[in-house]
Amino acid sequence: QLVESGGGLVQPGGSLRLSCEGPELILGYYHIGWFRQVAGEGREGISCVSAVDGNTYYKDSVKGRFTFSRDRAKNQVYLQMNNLQPEDTATYFCAAARHIVTARMLCDGGGRDMDYWGQGTQVTVSS
């Protein structure tokens, strides 16, 4: 029910904006997370947002470079990614959870608490 877009190939230092579109109920009222996964590795939560208080958590490796935002009128959420580096290369997923403890725990759980997932969009950072 979630659909990501916006991935692609970008040079180091470049930017991309990922979009996630879905039903109003899910993107408007559930807790949202952006995760990424490198082939052969587990999913990594990089940005998670609580629908209760709007608290936004960023993993240290992306803090200051990535920004979560939401457009409720369009039923979309976004992940603006700046100063991309080769280590950011991964498949990126948006996900939604009905229940939450904290935004950080949602991310640190690696996705186990998420109820809805998109299909993923590939981001490749290479010169």
List the pLDDT tens digit at each of the 127 positions of the chain.
Answer: 899 999 999 999 999 999 999 999 999 889 999 999 999 999 999 999 998 888 999 999 999 999 999 988 899 999 999 999 999 999 999 999 998 779 999 999 989 999 999 999 999 999 9
Structure tokens at 73: 């009128």
Those residues whose C-beta lies under 8 Å from the C-beta of residue 25, and which sit 6 or more positions away, are none
* pLDDT tens, position by position, 71-94: 888 999 999 999 999 999 999 999
